[in-house]
Amino acid sequence: MNQSKYLDSCIQILKGMLGDQSNELGSEQQRALAKEIRKLKSLQRQPKMSRDEVYRIVEEVALTVSKILQ
């Protein structure tokens, strides 16, 4: 399933950001990033979700990550 592959790639990128010492993320930002990783993992485990639900969750993750990086 392509969705699973894409979600796994996103999770790995976010984990890389979380583990990268040069990012200098604060503890609140690290918690927010870890929360978004959990959202993507739970999405990956869902047997069936509507396309709208997937888009909504991915959009939330993207907005949170963009706020963290600003």
In this prediction, residue 38 carries a pLDDT of 93
For the segment 5-18, the average pLDDT, to the nearest whole number, is 86
The DSSP result for the chain, as a single string, is -HHHHHHHHHHHHHHHHHH-GGG---HHHHHHHHHHHHHHHHHHH-S---HHHHHHHHHHHHHHHHHHH-
Q: For the whole model, what pTM was predicted?
A: 0.80
Q: Is the predicted pLDDT of residue 21 greater than 80, yes or no?
A: no
pLDDT surpasses 90 at 9:
no
Report the pLDDT value the prediction gives residue 44, as an integer from 0 to 100.
85
State the total domains in the chain. Answer: 1
Residue 41: give the domain boundaries.
2-69
Q: Is the pLDDT of residue 34 over 90?
A: yes
